[in-house]
Structure 1
Amino acid sequence: MSSVPPPEPAPAGGPGAPPPAPAGGPGAPPPQLVRSPLSDGEWHRLHPLTPLLRGGLFLIVVIGIVFANLRDRLLYVFLPWLAPGVGDEVVEWEQVGGDPIDFIIANNLYVLAGVAVLAVLIVLVTVFYTSWRFHTFRITDDDVEVRSGILFRTQRRAPLDRVQGVNLTRPMIARLLGMAKLEVVGAGIDANVKLEYLSTANAEAVRSDILRLASGRRLAMSAGPAGATATRQPGRVASLSQTVGREITGLIEGPEAPVAELESVVHIPLGRLVASHVLSTSTLALLFAIVAIVIGVSQGVTWLLFGFVPAIIGFGAYWVRSIVRSLRYSIAPTPDGVRITFGLFTTITEIVPPGRVHAVEVTQGILWRPAGWWTIRINRLTGRSAADSSTDQFTTVLPVGTAADVERVLRLLQPSLPDDERALIVQEGMFGPTEGDTFTNTPKRAWWIRPFSYRRNGFRLTEDVLLMRRGVVWRKLVILPLARLQSFGLYQGPLDRASRVTNVRAHVVTGPVSPFLAAVDRDRALALFDDVATGSVRAALADRTHRWAEGETDAAAPAVPLPAVSVPAATAPVPPDAGAGAQSAASVPPPPGYTVVTRPGEEPA
């Protein structure tokens, strides 16, 4: 299908095809803000091989059924010495016509069968080609739109000011062909807009354009001097063969690093990753189930074998899949947020823009305590339904790491926190309580509500975040940005009233983090309620992370190449009446790895 000349609108991302010139239609983004010719406000088609990848599973199933029917016959024709007894059976099947293949052979219907197969192939090719022709997208300065469907048309739109992130997924087969799937994360259930598939280079460029437009940045970028002659591109066949060879090597060496991406601040050794899965309560439950099966079978209780073995096989598959999914993990800062990459065969790269993290939880199980390992999960809008099993992989930002790794990740997720507050989070929040503890803990009179963890069960409120610390067997620290709080509630039962304590719960978007704290002193909880209400309103008014780079530069500036990575302007809260100049002056020192970028003639801030 890749050999069909692409009609207008031009396909997006054909290997080796010269990019179309930007059309600049109504609603098109400013040309200085985009690098991809697909971000010109006009309708474009996806990669020509998209139908093959999207319908490939169906074809594989059909081919598998055919080969299952022809297995013995192919073995008899090509490898007769491996199964000498099959020949007589094949001859008998052909005479009787026991299945469709045998019926065709027995009745000499070769021509009719060939015509039928050819007709099916023509229908499939026609359907795939038509679906590709009717599947188009465009990127304007306001949103990303996708139209699809032949008989029943569907049009989806993702407003850029509501973008929660942009994920780039590269399944193994798509990687071999140099293709990727782009998913624009929306702010609602089943609100994501998918562009599957684009060439990897086009997907990277389009993702950068979407984030740049969503940030409000007015930075003129140039792909090169005006009037420069385009380099001659190789043909489709040569380009595809080069891509396959490069991607096979990339399965071992890792994917090519996109331009200007920074090195990961955390590196997880393979031994630590495997050991973290072994030292888990799930593994203990699996060992208990195996012992129970062995004892039960030895005593004649055979139903245990049929009842638990499928579950054990399923758990083993999940165990291996979770390890493979966490391989090649990396996390690094970018001008448009935090970039997280993971996966060995299917590589997923997501960028979480500033202000899209609603809650952070740092957790340590008792089996990880001797090794000093922690994990970090977040609550964020993923745009997926609650029944989607892949949602969890977008909420775990650190599978396993040391306390130093946690501090580096928190520096990326909460860049506005001062260094002294971040050190306090690690010392008191993760390892506390310590001497001179600044957390407000459960009073001793209510120890019976949390008999093991009442000394650790507490909270601390700062200007930017609310900290909740709880648990002894499973240590947990919840970090809640005040600007992201939806509401805050106090709950009290009859036993709580008798002990003059109450339960507090912060309401944020749904996710694995549970911002709940029990057995808080009633008077302290009432004071916390007022302080959180005041602080969340103040933080929300000062928050500028929905347009994190707005006012960073001028759209009319001459196009210059970027020499380094710029600093997000939303790293510090700005008063609501402050202008663009005040916002730049309010920026805090960049975290490690960032470099301040200025235009010619300007001084660094």
Structure 2
Amino acid sequence: MSEPLLPPASAPTPPVDERTTLADGAWHRMHPLTPLFKGGLVLIIIAGIVISNMRERLGFWFFSLVAPDADIDGLTGGDPIDWVLENNFVLVGLGVVLGVLVLFIGIFWLVWRFQEFRITGEHVEVRKGILFRSQRRAPLDRVQGVNLTRPFPARIIGLAKLEVVGAGTDANVPLEYLATARAESVRADILRLASGARAARQDRIAGVAPGALATARAQLVNSVNHGVTDLITGVDLADVQAESVVKIPTGRLVGSHLLSGVLWFLFFALIYVAALGGVAWSVFRDGDPEGGIIILTMSVGLAVPFIIATIGVTWAQISKSLRYSIASTPDGVRITYGLLTTVTETIPPGRIFAVDITQSLLWRPFGWWVVRINRMSGKSLAQQQSSSAQQFNVVLPVGTRADVERVLALILPDAPESVRSLIWENGALGPSENDPYETMPRRAAWRRPLSWRRHGYAVTPFALFQRRGVVWRKLVIFPLARLQGFSLSQGPIDRLQRVTGVQAHSVTGPVQGVLAGIERDSALGLLDEVARFTALAAAQDRGHRWAEALEEALDQASASDVAAAVPPVAPTAATAVPPVAPTAPTAAGTVTVEWPESPRQDGPSA
């Protein structure tokens, strides 16, 4: 007789309090207004434009259906609304409008009804679709970060979009849209579970417990108040460590973007003036002044859109970085930026693969730097090349040395104090006396005639450092625990000069690890050192489950407290279990141990 099949085991769920968290393993729905902000609003606007432009034709067609015997020959040149009023079709018109509204509401309700998400102890899952169903899942141990975006229209009524960043191409899982307080709570739960903790966070977000607001009207009023308040005071400041907050003054931010734009503006302006001068010279040389005036007028007209586009791009870059802040939270490093549309990115520890510190020549008198990182974005290659995706790789748009040091302390918390000189005195600002960096030999200086003295590297058990550039000073840091690979390359000219090129491989991002013209023997020694240090660093790294060590420490402390409070009890004859030696190896070559059955405390069994 075969044994009955067991029901399939459901996904394990963390022990949580359902009153304070949504990480309970059950399916939950998005906000009811989600369809409106996921294309419904655009659909309504397009429908309004179409109806406005084609109202006469639509009116002629509709009234020919409802009143075929009526005199509608003159409708084409008039207003359909006037014809409705004159022929007492007001109720019919209102019925049509009501029917269209009911149709839209029904479609939106179906879209909302078939969008759900759940959070278990192992993954975040989203399913949606009516005719074509889709289901996406992000394992919690592969979460690279959680982004919370508040688009301006949705932000006004207190809605936000959550995106769980996965480790792979097109691996992100979006949760859109949620009430802002609920989105913040879900973000905290996801990061808490991804950290290796046994339960989701039990605190209440935004000071409002779920269920505290009795009516939907009160919830909407609270969401709108919350969104308007955030426009003034800022967002995501409740659980940050105040002493770790790094902010950028508005004047510095605007000035840095203007200085960066001046170089490109002058470059394109010179090309434009040179081309215009050549055309004008050829026209006047041929003795056609009227044609020259026409060409000059057309050129000025073409320059106006170029100037407007330049101003628009510059303002877009400035507005994206306004109200920037970076701070430490219990769940990782939180980066917030944006004036109207606010983006909040939370990066857990151990998710940063490379760091780039750069200073342009125009910024050098002010001592400004920019810090960029490589991290897994979970987007496709085309999405990674967009400006909005590249914004996620900038963790400090512009800052002083003190700002950079505070940011590095946040994103590289395990960096030892001994590497400080490799970062600044000998790195970003170097070279200095007794330079510890291995640089390009003099015989290969023709490859980098301006920066060959800076072009080099240094390696420690913590990271690989690469220094290069004079016009654009650059220092690149590759934490060895997350280095993806290291390679050497040598062409025929390199072999003649006994040099080689080295490259540190990381995930896709703006930080590159290429050095040219390094001494061949030094590069071979670097290859061995990087391989040895990387293996040691990866074995000791706990960044992917950063809360497990804390949980273990708390468990050990609790066990020690219990052992100290409870005196040891000597075993009695009834409870003592004599040691039993293992039996002989079985045929399969394993050793089995049989423990005697302990006395039962609930009486004899039947």
Q: Which residue, out of 158, 183, 194, partners 1:178?
A: 158
Contact 2:192/2:201 (<8 A) preserved: no
Change (3 A) 1:246 1:252: same
* Deviation for aligned residue 1:250: 2.8
Residue identity matched to 2:309: G
Secondary structure, aligned partner of 1:56? helix
1:41 equivalent to 2:25? Answer yes
Identity %: 51
Task: State how 1:345-384 maps to structure 2 within 5 Å.
Answer: 345-384=340-379
CA distance in 2, matches of 1:230, 1:267: 32
Q: Which residue, out of 39, 53, 60, partners 2:37?
A: 53
Contact 2:188/2:201 (<8 A) preserved: no
Contact 1:51/1:131 (<8 A) preserved: yes
For residues 392-442 of structure 1, what are the alpha-carbon distances to aligned partners after superposition, in whole Å with 9 as ceiling and x for unaligned?
Answer: 111000000011111111111111111231243111111001111110010
Secondary structure, aligned partner of 1:538? helix
Residue identity matched to 2:128: S
CA distance in 1, matches of 2:80, 2:442: 79
Residue identity matched to 1:399: P
Secondary structure, aligned partner of 1:463? coil
* Deviation for aligned residue 1:254: 2.1
Instruction: Give the structure 2 partner of residue 14 of structure 1.
Output: none
Secondary structure, aligned partner of 1:416? coil
Task: State how 1:151-230 maps to structure 2 within 5 Å.
Answer: 151-218=131-198, 222-223=202-203
* Deviation for aligned residue 1:500: 1.3
CA distance in 1, matches of 2:464, 2:128: 44
Change (3 A) 1:396 1:601: farther
CA distance in 2, matches of 1:129, 1:500: 70
Instruction: Give the structure 2 partner of residue 510 of structure 1.
Output: 508
CA distance in 1, matches of 2:150, 2:191: 19
CA distance in 2, matches of 1:417, 1:230: 40
Secondary structure, aligned partner of 1:258? coil
Aligned length: 516
Contact 2:151/2:341 (<8 A) preserved: yes
CA distance in 2, matches of 1:68, 1:289: 41
Residue identity matched to 1:373: W
Secondary structure, aligned partner of 2:117? strand
Structure 1 unaligned segments of length 5 or more: list them. Answer: 1-23, 71-93, 558-579, 585-596
Change (3 A) 1:187 1:303: farther
Contact 2:486/2:502 (<8 A) preserved: yes
Change (3 A) 1:145 1:498: same
Change (3 A) 1:600 1:306: farther
Instruction: Give the structure 1 partner of residue 115 of structure 2.
Output: 135
Task: State how 1:19-418 maps to structure 2 within 5 Å.
Answer: 27-31=12-16, 36-54=20-38, 55-66=40-51, 97=76, 114-218=94-198, 222-223=202-203, 232-255=212-235, 257-259=237-239, 261-262=241-242, 264-280=244-260, 282-290=261-269, 296=276, 300-301=295-296, 304-305=299-300, 309-388=304-383, 389=386, 390-418=388-416
1:461 equivalent to 2:459? Answer yes
CA distance in 1, matches of 2:151, 2:200: 33
For residues 222-249 of structure 1, what are the alpha-carbon distances to aligned partners after superposition, in whole Å with 9 as ceiling and x for unaligned?
Answer: 459xxxx988524322332343244224
Contact 2:11/2:121 (<8 A) preserved: no
Q: Which residue, out of 435, 438, 441, partners 1:437?
A: 435
CA distance in 2, matches of 1:335, 1:599: 26
CA distance in 2, matches of 1:382, 1:321: 22
Secondary structure, aligned partner of 2:175? strand
TM-score norm. by structure 2 comes to 0.78
* Deviation for aligned residue 1:179: 1.5
CA distance in 2, matches of 1:124, 1:263: 50
Residue identity matched to 1:121: L
CA distance in 1, matches of 2:236, 2:488: 50
Please say which structure displays the higher CA radius of gyration: 2
CA distance in 2, matches of 1:528, 1:406: 28
Residue identity matched to 2:524: L
* Deviation for aligned residue 1:58: 2.2
Instruction: Give the structure 1 partner of residue 588 of structure 2.
Output: none
100-109 or 297-306: bigger deviation: 100-109
* Deviation for aligned residue 1:524: 0.4
CA distance in 1, matches of 2:210, 2:224: 24
CA distance in 2, matches of 1:510, 1:399: 20
CA distance in 1, matches of 2:183, 2:559: 27
Residue identity matched to 1:363: T
CA distance in 2, matches of 1:152, 1:379: 35
307-316 or 167-176: bigger deviation: 307-316
CA distance in 2, matches of 1:293, 1:96: 54
TM-score norm. by structure 1 comes to 0.78
Q: Higher helix share goes to which structure?
A: 2
Query: Which of the pair has the greater relative contact order for Cα pairs under 8 Å at 6+ separation?
Result: 1
Contact 1:363/1:476 (<8 A) preserved: yes
Change (3 A) 1:425 1:35: farther
108-117 or 128-137: bigger deviation: 108-117
435-444 or 544-553: bigger deviation: 544-553
Instruction: Give the structure 2 partner of residue 8 of structure 1.
Output: none
Structure 2 unaligned segments of length 5 or more: list them. Answer: 1-8, 56-72, 281-291, 565-606
* Deviation for aligned residue 1:313: 3.1
For residues 47-79 of structure 1, what are the alpha-carbon distances to aligned partners after superposition, in whole Å with 9 as ceiling and x for unaligned?
Answer: 111112212222233335556779xxxxxxxxx
Secondary structure, aligned partner of 2:246? coil
* Deviation for aligned residue 1:322: 1.1
For residues 94-130 of structure 1, what are the alpha-carbon distances to aligned partners after superposition, in whole Å with 9 as ceiling and x for unaligned?
Answer: 9572699699779978766655443332222111100
CA distance in 1, matches of 2:211, 2:23: 21
Secondary structure, aligned partner of 2:231? helix
CA distance in 2, matches of 1:602, 1:274: 61
Change (3 A) 1:125 1:507: same
Contact 2:25/2:121 (<8 A) preserved: yes
* Deviation for aligned residue 1:496: 1.7
Secondary structure, aligned partner of 2:547? coil
Contact 2:20/2:203 (<8 A) preserved: no
Instruction: Give the structure 1 partner of residue 544 of structure 2.
Output: 546
Contact 2:31/2:178 (<8 A) preserved: yes
CA distance in 2, matches of 1:542, 1:260: 28
Contact 1:96/1:106 (<8 A) preserved: no
259-268 or 184-193: bigger deviation: 259-268
* Deviation for aligned residue 1:204: 1.1
CA distance in 2, matches of 1:456, 1:199: 51
Secondary structure, aligned partner of 1:448? helix
Structural RMSD (CA):
3.4
Residue identity matched to 1:487: G
CA distance in 1, matches of 2:143, 2:113: 27
CA distance in 2, matches of 1:329, 1:602: 49
Contact 1:167/1:182 (<8 A) preserved: yes
Change (3 A) 1:220 1:377: closer
CA distance in 2, matches of 1:141, 1:104: 63
Contact 2:180/2:223 (<8 A) preserved: no
CA distance in 2, matches of 1:490, 1:140: 44
For residues 257-301 of structure 1, what are the alpha-carbon distances to aligned partners after superposition, in whole Å with 9 as ceiling and x for unaligned?
Answer: 234554553221111001101111x33222454566578398535
For residues 157-185 of structure 1, what are the alpha-carbon distances to aligned partners after superposition, in whole Å with 9 as ceiling and x for unaligned?
Answer: 00000000011111112221111111100
